[in-house]
Amino acid sequence: MTDLLVSVHVPKTAGTSFRAALHGAFGAGLRLDYHHERAAARLHAKGVDPVDLHRRWLDLGPARATAKYFAGPAFAGSRVACIHGHFPAVKYLPAVLHRRVRFITWLRHPFRRMVSNYRFWHAQDRSKVVDPFVHHVLDDGWSLGRFCLSPSLRNYQSAFFKGFPMSRLAFVGVVEHYDSDLRWLAESVLGRDLGSVRLNETRGDAGMDEAGELDDLQRRFEAYHDLDMAFYRRALALRARRTPVLGARDA
């Protein structure tokens, strides 16, 4: 059975650009997993609070992860070489029972990622938005500060890896160094060309308020999202050790 690459796409971490690169590399062997929004919409229609849903969907746990994995035989098929999407990493951990699996992800400075996410949601065509939490945030008029310091979004990047052994991550890219990290992944991990495409970019500093107010919000954000900041700093440290030349060239 062929190796399986599992790419965990944290929102607003160059996932659309990376998906295009993966499609070029894997073609029909690529499967996308972006099913959580429709599942959340179905539960919301039954009366479940959208904020609670958003907080809980990443808390899958090993038992539910195993059930979900084996309930999706298409993803377990030998012709599937790569899975990419929004899902907790633990969802595909059961694949290691019968395949050689490499887990990868991209991280972005948590504050810039959060601001980019906020701007992206506000730029959406509401008629095409499925996620009930997005509708809740927009309908309720959340400010950037409320969004950044919401308990339901606390340590959001690291939540994708709750219950997941971090030693299993074969690659953690840093979005701020996307091009060079993409080259390193292609050459040192995958052994295949990934090209370099930039799509759906939303700047994390676009349309900001006064610099002083933003600096204050970032300080509070970094203290509140302590696990995300530690995770991001760890990714930077790992990157510096594996690619000292690249790290110096595009820092």
Note the pLDDT tens digit of each residue in 78-115.
Answer: 688 999 999 999 989 888 888 899 999 999 999 999 99
Task: Tell me how far apart the alpha carbons of residues 144 and 118 are, in angstroms, rounded to a whole number.
Answer: 7
When pLDDT is cut at 50, 70 and 90, the band that residue 39 belongs to is confident
pLDDT at 196: 66
Residue with tokens 């595909």: 92
pLDDT classification of 195: cutoffs 50, 70, 90:
confident
Q: For residue 90, what is the DSSP state?
A: G
- Pairwise CA distance, residues 51 & 54, whole Å: 5
CA 190 to CA 194: how far, in whole Å?
A: 9
pLDDT at 5 over 60: yes
In 3-state terms, what secondary structure has residue 18? helix
Does the structure show a pLDDT above 90 at 217? yes
What is the arithmetic mean of pLDDT over 5-22? 93
Give the pLDDT confidence of 41-57 residue by residue, as tens digits: 777 777 778 887 777 77
Contact 198, 37 (CB under 8 A): no
Beta strands in 16-138 (DSSP E): 30-33, 82-85, 101-107
pLDDT given for residue 102 in this prediction: 95
Q: Alpha-carbon torsion 27, 77, 54, 156, what sign?
A: negative
Cα 128 from chain centre: 21
The mean pLDDT value for 220-237 works out to 97
What average pLDDT does range 242-248 have in this prediction?
Answer: 50
DSSP state letter for 153: G
Helix (H) or strand (E) holding 152: none
Checking if the pLDDT of 248 tops 50, the result is: no
Q: Which residues contact 119 (CB under 8 A, 6 or more apart)?
A: 202, 203, 206, 207
43 versus 231: the higher-pLDDT residue is 231
Determine contact, residues 173/105, Cβ cutoff 8 Å: yes
Of the chain, the percentage scoring pLDDT greater than 90 comes to: 53
pLDDT at 207 over 50: no
What is the mean pLDDT of the segment spanning 196-212? 55
Q: Based on C-alpha coordinates, what's the Rg of the chain?
A: 18
pLDDT at 242: 80
Look at residue 49 in the predicted model and tell me its pLDDT. 82
Residue whose structure tokens are 């994390």: 204
Q: State the residue for tokens 């979004």.
A: 153
* Alpha carbons 13 and 30: distance in angstroms, whole number: 19
What does the chain come to in residues?
Answer: 251
Please give the backbone phi and psi of residue 241, each rounded to the nearest 5 degrees, phi first.
-75, -35
Residue 151 confidence (pLDDT): 93
How far apart (Å, rounded) are the C-alpha atoms in residues 113 and 93? 26
pLDDT, one tens digit per residue, over 144-158 is: 999 999 999 999 999
% of the chain residues with pLDDT over 70: 82
